Amino acid sequence: MFMGFKYTAVAVAVLSSVAMQTNAAELTVISYGGALKEAQSKAFYTPFEKSAGVSVIASDYNGEMAKIKAMVDTKTVTWDVVDVEDNDLVRGCDEGLFEKIDVKKIGDKANFVPGAVQACGIGAHVWSTVLAYDADRLKTPPTSWKDFWDVKKYPGKRALRKTARGALEAALMADGVAPKDVYKTLSTSKGVDRAFKKLDQLKPYIQWWEAGAQPPQYLASGDVVMSSAYNGRISAAQKSGKNLKVVWNGSLYQFDFWAIPKGSPNKDNAMKYLAFAGAPENQKVFAENIAYGPTNKKALGLLSKQILDALPTSPANIKNALNVNVVFWADYGETLEQRFNAWASK
């Protein structure tokens, strides 16, 4: 009987171990790949596993909202947390694709950058479209979108992203509209006409770009003297030895958000992950690994000046920046993009 008891105890222990492994908490987090995923792994995934005892299964996608919609519609949701762009968050929230966020479980809303806390998502990071230039070619640095439009003082081509979103805001700021008044102006037909009239002035000098890798390439090759560009792309070019500079005045900043697909099988742990990813000490690690801004303002005080200088949300850089209004673009985007495409093709 003693031997039988011994073997039974061993069997029970083995079965319990297997059961624990089978029932081990898991969290599937979907984001974009490359350098972003590497930074997220260091700042969030690995530390969260250790802190919460939850196994993070990290995977990539290209922002395909159709996949999320299909899972939600068929009630076969296998994703728990998703990194989504601002416009996708707003649209997905309206369509019931994401869980509502209990902000009390995330932290004090006052600690976050304005716009970072939404009904269905918490800001993951901030990125900006900035004015960039080659400091080896321009000895007198530009300081605003007004300089971007000044072809007499700064002769030569300049590059803009081939889309109404971003181009119209820059045009109005170049025409003297303060960042805080851009969308109030752009929401009127007179304001839209004003933006396109300003674009008319620059059109002969514009070289369009569509992929984020193009602006630093255009600048490095001497094709253009200035360009709108994603700040992360310019930061990467700087690290590779290019003497490119950024003008933060009038930059247009946007959020990526963490969101929870409706019907997530691990909603409680997903909410814990959002709180963890929003904590300042974890956002500090993220910003040290990629030039995207923390959404928790308390993280800024933990960073060195060298890191801060390259981030969209540092106090100096965000001071005169414009938060791209996703609700405005959800309401007016289709009409404005149609007019822009017709204008650009002429």
156: CATH: 3.40.190.10
User: pLDDT at position 62, please?
Assistant: 84
Matching residue, tokens 């253009």: 224
User: pLDDT at position 117, please?
Assistant: 94
163, 283: one domain? no
* Rounded CA separation 289/307 (Å): 10
301, 236: one domain? no
66, 205: one domain? no
Tokens of 176: 């003297």
Cβ-based neighbour number of residue 90 at 10 Å: 20
Partners of residue 209 on adjacent β-strands: 161
Alpha-carbon distance values, 339 to 209, 323, 325 (Å): 18, 23, 19
193, 328: one domain? yes
Task: Provide the whole-model pTM.
Answer: 0.81
**pLDDT, block means (10 residues), the chain with 346 residues:** 42 39 76 89 98 96 93 97 94 96 90 93 96 94 98 96 97 97 98 98 96 93 96 89 95 96 97 96 96 94 94 92 92 95 96
185, 206: one domain? yes
User: pLDDT at position 218, please?
Assistant: 97
Question: Of 306, 295, 312, 308, nearest to 252 (Cα)?
Answer: 312
208, 312: one domain? no
* Rounded CA separation 152/142 (Å): 13
User: pLDDT at position 16, please?
Assistant: 39
User: pLDDT at position 223, please?
Assistant: 96
120, 134: one domain? no
212, 165: one domain? yes
260, 240: one domain? no
175, 235: one domain? yes
Is residue 75 left, alpha or beta, with left meaning phi > 0 and alpha meaning psi from -120 to 50?
left
61, 182: one domain? no
Question: Of 251, 254, 257, 255, nearest to 318 (Cα)?
Answer: 251
Partners of residue 82 on adjacent β-strands: 30, 259
User: pLDDT at position 5, please?
Assistant: 39
User: pLDDT at position 9, please?
Assistant: 42
| CA-based radius of gyration for the chain | 24
* Rounded CA separation 344/232 (Å): 27
User: pLDDT at position 10, please?
Assistant: 40
* Rounded CA separation 212/249 (Å): 20
* Rounded CA separation 82/97 (Å): 11
Range of the domain at 12: 2-126+255-318
User: pLDDT at position 170, please?
Assistant: 98
If one counts the domains in the chain, the total is 2
230, 134: one domain? yes
Residue 290 carries which DSSP code? S
Question: Of 205, 250, 235, 224, nearest to 134 (Cα)?
Answer: 224
Matching residue, tokens 């060195």: 304
Beta strands 206-209; 244-259: pairing state: unpaired
